[in-house]
Structure 1
Amino acid sequence: MTAVASGRREQESDSAAPMSHRQIMEALSGLLLGLFVAILSSTVVSNALPTIIADLDAGQTTYTWVITATLLATTITTPIWGKLADLTSKKVLVQLGLLVFVAGSAFAGLAQNPAMLITARVVQGVGAGGLTALAQVIMAVMIAPRERGRYSGYIGAVFALATIGGPLIGGVIVDTSWLGWRWCFYVGVPFAVLALIVLQKTLHLPARRRQVKVDWAGATLIAASTSLVLVWVSFAGHDYDRLSWQTALMLCGAVVLALLFLLVERRASEPILPLRLFRIRTVSLAVVASLLVGVAMFGATTFLSQYFQLARGASPTRAGLMTLPMIFGLAVASTVAGRIITRTGRWKGILVLGGLFLSGGYDLMSTLRHDTPYWRAAVFMAFVGIGLGMVMQNLVLSVQNQVRPQELGAASSVVAFFRTLGGAVGVSALGAVLSGRVAHYTAQGLAGIGARGTGTGGDSIPRLSALPPQIRPIVEDAFGHGIGNVFAYASPFAVLALITILFIKEVPLRTANTGTAETAAAPAARAAYRPAHAAPNRTPETTHAAPNRTPETAYAAPSRAPDTGNVIHGTVRDAAGVPVARAALTLIDASGRQVGRATAGADGRYTLTAPGRGGYVLIASAGEHDPCAVPVDVGDRPARLDVALAGSGGLAGTVHDADGAPAREALVILTDARGEVVATGTTGGDGAYAFARPAPGPYTLTVGAGAHRPVAVPVEVGDGRTRQDVTLPPTARLRGVVRADGRGPLADARVTLHDAAGNVVGVATTGPDGEYAFGDLTGGRYTLTTSAYPPVTSPVVVDGRGEDTHDVWLGRPGR
C-alpha cells in the first residue's frame, strides 16, 4: 500500500526506531513469556484430560468440547484483539489478555462438573486469543519483515518449550496424588504474573491516538455462525441423524448468519475482518492454507495423548515424554527456517517443504495402531513437527509482508482466526469421528469374544486399570485404530494446504516497516557496499565530498565536534537536505566486523565511537531510503561525517486533472506484466502517490477518480526513483429526451451512440419520460441513432466537460 500524504503521519507514528538485537530481545522477553503461558495452558491439560474427563464422569463429547471451547473462544476473539491492536495500546491489550487468562485458569481449577470446566475454558480462550494474536502484531511493529523470520524462530522455540514442558508437567501433576489434576490449571498463574511484570518494564511501543471502534455486530454474527456449525458437527450422528430437521435448521441458520456477517462487514467503518484484505492474493491463499493447517494440526494432534494413554497404556507422564519427537521437530524446524529466511529473504521454498513434511507425516500417522513400534511412531511425529514448524509462523509472515503497519493487527488476526477456526472445526469433527470409530471397533472386538454390555461405549473415556483383562486389549485396539483413522481423515486437509501454498506468489521480504502493501523490498544487491568517492584532501577531522555529491556521498558541514578522539559524528539527511530521523548507522572495520552502532535522533544527528585509529566504513540506512556505505578515517581528533541518503527507488508521481489541479483520493493500482495487482493506494491532498520498492521491471499504472475517466499507462520501474505523473481526462455525459410528433416523450426507444470512427460507444433505452443518458464520455464528435420508422441519425458534439444535452424529435425532419 502506498505511503500517501494522508496516511504518512499515521505510518510514522507506528514506526519504531531501529532496534538492536539486544533491545528487541528485551522487549520480546515478557511477550514470549506470556505466549509461553498461553501455550502451556493447552499442553499441560491435554495430557491430563483423559484423567480429568474420567474423574468428572464425562464422555468423548465433553473431552472434545473442553478443547473446542477454548479454540472457539480464541477464534472469535482473535480478530477483536487484532482490531483493538490497530486502534489502541498494544501493551495494555497484551496485559489485559494475561489477566483474563489468569482468571479463566483459576476458574477452571475450581470446576466441579463438565459445564463449569467448559465455561472456564472459554474464558481461558478469550485471554489466549489476545496473547497469540498480539504476539505476532507486536513483533511486526518492532521488526522489519526481512528480520522477522529470525524472531519467528524464537516464537517457535517458545512454542516447542511450552509444548514439551506442558505434557510433562501435566503428567507429573496427575501422577502425584497430593497435587491432583486441578493444579494443571493453577501452574500457569505464576508465569502469567511474572509476564505482566516483565512486560511493564521492557515493552515500549509507539502510541497511537485513534478513536477505538470495534465491530461488535460482526463479532457477534461470526461467533453465532461458527458456534452453530460446531454444535452440529459435535452432535450430528450421535444425538440426532445427520439428515434431520435439526441439521437443516443449524446449517441454514449458520449460512444466514454468515451472509449477514458479510453484509455488516461491507458497511462497517472498522470491520472486524476487513474484506479488502482478501483482494490481495497472498492474503487470500494464506488464509485458506491456515484454515486447512488448523484442521490438520489441532484436529489430529489433540488426540495424541489419548493414543498413548488409552491405546498404549502409558501413564500421563510417560505419554508426555512419548510426544517429544514431534515437539523437537517443530522447535528445530521453526528456528532453522527462521534464520534461513532472515539470511536469504526467501520464504516460499520453506513453506512448500513444510507442506510436504506435514502431508507426508499425516499420511504416515494414519497407519498408527495400538501395537505400532514406538520408533516408527516417533519418526512419523517428527515429520509432522517439522512440517508445522516450517508452515505456521511463515504463513503469518507472508501476510504481514503485504500490508501496511496500521493493518498489521487485522491481517495477523485474520490468519490466526482462520487457523484456530479450522482447529475448532477439526477438533469437533474429528472428535465425533473418533467417538464413532471407537464404538464400532469396540463392538467388533466384543463380538469376536462373545461379550456384550461392558459399558465401554465409544463416547466414554474408560479407566484401563478398571477394565477386565479380557476387555482391555479390545479397548486399546479400538482407540489405536480409531485414532489412526482420525489422522487418515486429517491427511487430505494437509495435502490441500500444500496445494494452496504452491499457488502463493513469493514476494521478497521488505527490509523495513515502510507501510507498503505491494511487492516488497528491492533485491538484496541494492544494499551492497557502495563507497563514496571523497576528495583526496580529507583530514581526520573532516570528510569532504566531491563537489557534485550524489545520494551516496558523504559531505562536510561545520558543526561543534565532541572533545575526544576516536569519535565519528554528523547528521543524516535525505537528497533534499532534510534530516532523516531514526536512521540506523553501523561501523565496520577492514575485516567486515561490526565495531559500532548508533541510531540518529529526531534531528538526524548521530555520534558513535570507533575502537581505535584507522580506516572504517560507515553504513547508513533508514525506512524508505536506499542504504549507503561511506569510508571514514579516524584519528586523534573527532571525525565529522554527514551522510545523504537517496530515496528507495520505487515509483512516485502526481495525479492531476486537465486543468492541473491535484486529484485527491484517486485510486492508483500497479499491476505487473502478468496482470497481477502488486500495489494499490490512494492519492493525498496534493494528488501525490508513492510505491516504495517495487521490483524493477515493466508495470501498468491505472488511475481512476470519481469525476474523471480512468487512465492506464505503461511504466518501466528502474533501480532508481521512477516518476510517472498522470493527467486524468474529465468525464462527460450526454443526455436528452426522445419525443414523437404529437405524442410527447417516447418510452422504450432504442438510442445508439457511435464515436467518430463508427464504433458503438453505448446503447440505451428511454424510460417512461423519454430520457436517455450516456456517461464516461470524452470530448469529440459522435453520432446518435434513434430507432424509429425510419431511424433518425443526428450528429452530436460533446465538449468533454460536464453534461451536454441533445433532444431527438421523431417524425419532424429538421428538428
Structure 2
Amino acid sequence: MSHPAVMRALSGLLMGMFVSILAGTVVSTSMPRIISDLGGNQAAFTWVITSTLLATTVSTPIWGKFADIMNRKLLIQLALVIFVLGSALAGFSQNTETLIIFRVLQGLGGGGLAALSQIIMADIISPRERGRYMGLFGAVMAVGTVGGPLLGGVITDAIGWRWNFFVALPFAIAAIFLLQRNLNLPALEKIKIKIDYLGMVLITGGISLLLIWVTMAGHEFDWDSTASYVMIGAAVIMLILAVIVELRVSNPIIPMTLFKNPTFSLAVIASIAVGVAMFGTSVFLGQYMQLARGATPTQSGLLTLPMIAGLLLASTFVGMLISKYGKWKAYMVFGSIALTVGMFLMGTIKYDTNYVLVSVYMFILGVGVGMVMQNLVLIVQNTVSPKEIGVASSGVTFFRSLGGTIGISVLGAVLATKITDGISAKAADIQQALVALGPSGAEVGKQLSSGVLPKVSELPDSVRVIIESVYGQGVADIFLVAAPLALITVLAIVFLPNRSLSTQTARERMAPGADDQTEDAPESLGTEAAENLIAVGEASIGAQGDLLTTGSIPQVGGNGQRRPDADN
C-alpha cells in the first residue's frame, strides 16, 4: 500500500483507538466521586475497574481467534458497537452493581478493539515501517489520555459524572463510518473450522473465579477459609482442563504451540509484569491525588499529566527510532529498567511529598511503560507465522490485560487492608479531631464509618490530614508490592532473541512464494559483517547513516528501492 492508502486505512483505526482510550480515561479522575455517589466502598471501586479489565482479558484471545477466520473489518466495527453500548448504559447506573455489569459489556468490546487494531496494523504496515506511523498513534493517545481525564474532571464538576459515559458516542459513530469507507482488506481464505467453545468457557471461568476470590477474600470471608480453598481449587482445575483442551483441539483459542517460540513466551512473561505496572498502579494514581492530596477530579487529571507525558514521548520517539534504524532491543531494555526504577521511586511517596518529586517519579514510570508496552506486540508479530498473527497478537494483549486485572484485584485488596489498618492505628487521633469539631463531628464520624469512599476535599482540615496520610501511605505500599514484578520484565526482555524486523506486511508474508522466516534461529552472518554489526553499537545509533554504509548485512527489501508492486 502507498502512504496515502495507508493513511486512509488508518483513519478509522485511529478513531476507534481514540474512542477506546477516551471512554476509559474520561472516568479515571471521576471514579472516586462516582463510587462515593453510588454508595460504594473500596471493594466496589476495585471491581468497577476490574470488571472491565476482566471482560477485556477473557475476550481478547477470542476476538483474536475470530480475526484469523472471519472478516476483520466487520469484527472491529462490531467491537466498537458493543463497547459504546456498554459505555452508554453505564451512564444510567443507579448503583455499583449495575455499573459493574455495564462495564463488563464495555470490556467485551474493548477486548476486540485492543486485539483487532494491532492485527489489522500488521496487515497493512510492516514491522520495520510501523514506527513511522507511531507519531500518529502517539498523537491520538495524547489527546485521549491527556484530554480524557481533564475532560472527565470538567464534566464531573460542571454537569455531573454520568455524562462522562456518553461523550464517546459521536466519535464511535465517526469511527464506524471511516472504517466502512476507507479500510479495505483482502478477503481471507474461506476455511471451515470448529470453534473451541469449551476452551472459551474454561479459560473465562478459571480466570474469573480466581479474580473473584482475590477481590472477595479478606472481606466476605477469610483468606484461610473453606471458601478460599474451594474457589482456588475450582479455578486451578478449570485452567488445567483449559490447557488440556487447547492441546487437543484442532483450532484452539490459545495455541499451546506458540509457547515453543522463545520470543512469544518471554513476551508473555514481560507483558504480565507490564500489565501490573500499567493498569495495577496507574488506576490508583487518581485515588492518591484525590484521597491523599485532596484534589478535585479536574485537578487530579492535571496532576497525573507527568506520567502520561512520559508514556507518550517515549512511545512516539522510540517508535520513530525503531522504524529508522530497525533496532529495538536496547530501547526495550532501557525502558524496562526505567519502569523498575519508577515503581520503586513511587513506593517512597507520602501524602505530603513535594509534587515536583512525585512528577519526576511518574514521568520515569511513564517512560518505562511507553518504551516497552506496544513494542512487545511488535516483536511477536515480527516472529510468528503470519497465519497466527491474530492469536499471537491477542495472546500478548491477553496476558498484559490479565496482569493488569490481577494487579488491580490484588493491589486493590492490599490497599483496602492497608487503609483499614491505617484508620485503626489512627483511631485515637481521629476521635480527638472529631470531638474538637463539636456537634458537626458526629456527622463526619458517621461518614467515615460508613465504609463509603470519603470526599476528602470536603472534610474538615483536622480530619482531612489524617485521612490523607493513611491513603498516601497505602498507595505507596502498593507500588512497593508491585515493584519486584518489574524486575521480571527486565530479565524477560534481556533474554528476548534480538531478531531483525521484517520489511514485509503480514499479507505479503502470506503471499505464494514469499520468504516467511518465522523461526528464532540465529542469523547467518559472515565474519566481516558480524564485526561491522558489533562496531555499530546501540550507543552510536544516532551517528550512523544508512545501513548499507555500515557494511552490515542489509535486510531483504529494506535497501531503499521500491518493489514493483509497492503501490498495489
Instruction: Please give the residue correspondences for 1:546-557 in structure 2 after superposition, counting only pairs within 5 Å.
Output: none
How much does 1:107 deviate? 0.9
Matched, 1:417 2:398: yes
For 1:237, the equivalent position in structure 2 comes to 218
SS at match of 2:161: coil
For 2:184, the equivalent position in structure 1 comes to 204
For 1:101, the equivalent position in structure 2 comes to 83
SS at match of 2:502: coil
How much does 1:146 deviate? 1.1
Q: Which residue of the other structure, out of 24, 40, 45, is the alignment partner of 1:63?
A: 45
- Find the aligned partners of 2:127 and 2:561 in 1 and give their Cα distance: 22
Instruction: Please give the residue correspondences for 1:247-286 in structure 2 after superposition, counting only pairs within 5 Å.
Output: 247-286=228-267
SS at match of 2:426: helix
SS at match of 1:58: coil
- Find the aligned partners of 1:256 and 1:181 in 2 and give their Cα distance: 41
For 1:183, the equivalent position in structure 2 comes to 163
Larger radius of gyration: 1
Instruction: Please give the residue correspondences for 1:470-509 in structure 2 after superposition, counting only pairs within 5 Å.
Output: 470-509=462-501
How much does 1:148 deviate? 1.9
- Find the aligned partners of 1:307 and 1:87 in 2 and give their Cα distance: 44
For 2:137, the equivalent position in structure 1 comes to 155
Matched, 1:195 2:196: no
For 1:166, the equivalent position in structure 2 comes to 148
Q: Which residue of the other structure, out of 94, 100, 104, is the alignment partner of 1:118?
A: 100
How much does 1:523 deviate? 9.6
Deviations 1:767-795 (A, max 9, x none): xxxxxxxxxxxxxxxxxxxxxxxxxxxxx
Confirm or deny: 8 A CA contact 1:352 1:501 kept in the other structure: yes
SS at match of 1:273: coil
- Find the aligned partners of 2:91 and 2:564 in 1 and give their Cα distance: 61
Confirm or deny: 8 A CA contact 2:295 2:457 kept in the other structure: no
How much does 1:336 deviate? 0.8
For 2:331, the equivalent position in structure 1 comes to 350
Confirm or deny: 8 A CA contact 1:149 1:394 kept in the other structure: no
For 1:72, the equivalent position in structure 2 comes to 54
Structure 1 residues 624 and 387: alpha-carbon distance in aligned structure 2, compared to 1, 3 A threshold = closer
Confirm or deny: 8 A CA contact 1:153 1:337 kept in the other structure: no
Q: Which residue of the other structure, out of 40, 45, 63, is the alignment partner of 1:81?
A: 63
Instruction: Please give the residue correspondences for 1:686-705 in structure 2 after superposition, counting only pairs within 5 Å.
Output: none
Higher percent of residues as helix: 2
How much does 1:448 deviate? 3.4
What is the one-letter code of the residue matched to 2:425? Answer: Q
- Find the aligned partners of 1:369 and 1:627 in 2 and give their Cα distance: 53
How much does 1:328 deviate? 1.1
Q: Which residue of the other structure, out of 434, 437, 442, is the alignment partner of 2:415?
A: 434
- Find the aligned partners of 2:450 and 2:377 in 1 and give their Cα distance: 38
Instruction: Please give the residue correspondences for 1:401-416 in structure 2 after superposition, counting only pairs within 5 Å.
Output: 401-416=382-397
SS at match of 2:452: coil
SS at match of 1:46: coil
Confirm or deny: 8 A CA contact 1:71 1:125 kept in the other structure: yes
> 5+ unaligned residues in a row in structure 2: which ranges?
435-444, 510-515, 527-545, 547-554
Q: Taking structure 1 as the reference length, what is the TM-score of the superposition? A: 0.61
Structure 1 residues 212 and 319: alpha-carbon distance in aligned structure 2, compared to 1, 3 A threshold = farther
The more displaced of 211-220 and 193-202 is: 211-220
Higher percent of residues as strand: 1
Q: Which residue of the other structure, out of 9, 23, 34, is the alignment partner of 1:52?
A: 34
Instruction: Please give the residue correspondences for 1:653-802 in structure 2 after superposition, counting only pairs within 5 Å.
Output: none
Structure 1 residues 627 and 341: alpha-carbon distance in aligned structure 2, compared to 1, 3 A threshold = closer
Structure 1 residues 459 and 258: alpha-carbon distance in aligned structure 2, compared to 1, 3 A threshold = farther
- Root-mean-square deviation (CA, aligned residues, Å) is 2.4
- Find the aligned partners of 2:19 and 2:349 in 1 and give their Cα distance: 31
Matched, 1:460 2:460: no
Confirm or deny: 8 A CA contact 1:95 1:196 kept in the other structure: yes
For 1:753, the equivalent position in structure 2 comes to none
SS at match of 2:26: helix
Confirm or deny: 8 A CA contact 1:312 1:476 kept in the other structure: yes
Matched, 1:365 2:357: no
Confirm or deny: 8 A CA contact 1:47 1:171 kept in the other structure: yes
SS at match of 2:491: helix
Structure 1 residues 134 and 212: alpha-carbon distance in aligned structure 2, compared to 1, 3 A threshold = farther
SS at match of 2:27: helix
How much does 1:163 deviate? 0.9
For 1:317, the equivalent position in structure 2 comes to 298
How much does 1:447 deviate? 2.1
Confirm or deny: 8 A CA contact 1:157 1:334 kept in the other structure: no
Count of aligned positions: 518
Structure 1 residues 215 and 160: alpha-carbon distance in aligned structure 2, compared to 1, 3 A threshold = farther
Greater relative contact order (Cα < 8 A, sep 6+): 2
How much does 1:157 deviate? 3.6
Confirm or deny: 8 A CA contact 1:439 1:457 kept in the other structure: no
How much does 1:155 deviate? 2.8
How much does 1:460 deviate? 3.0
> 5+ unaligned residues in a row in structure 1: which ranges?
1-18, 526-591, 593-622, 631-641, 645-815
Deviations 1:137-173 (A, max 9, x none): 0011111111123334533442232111110011001
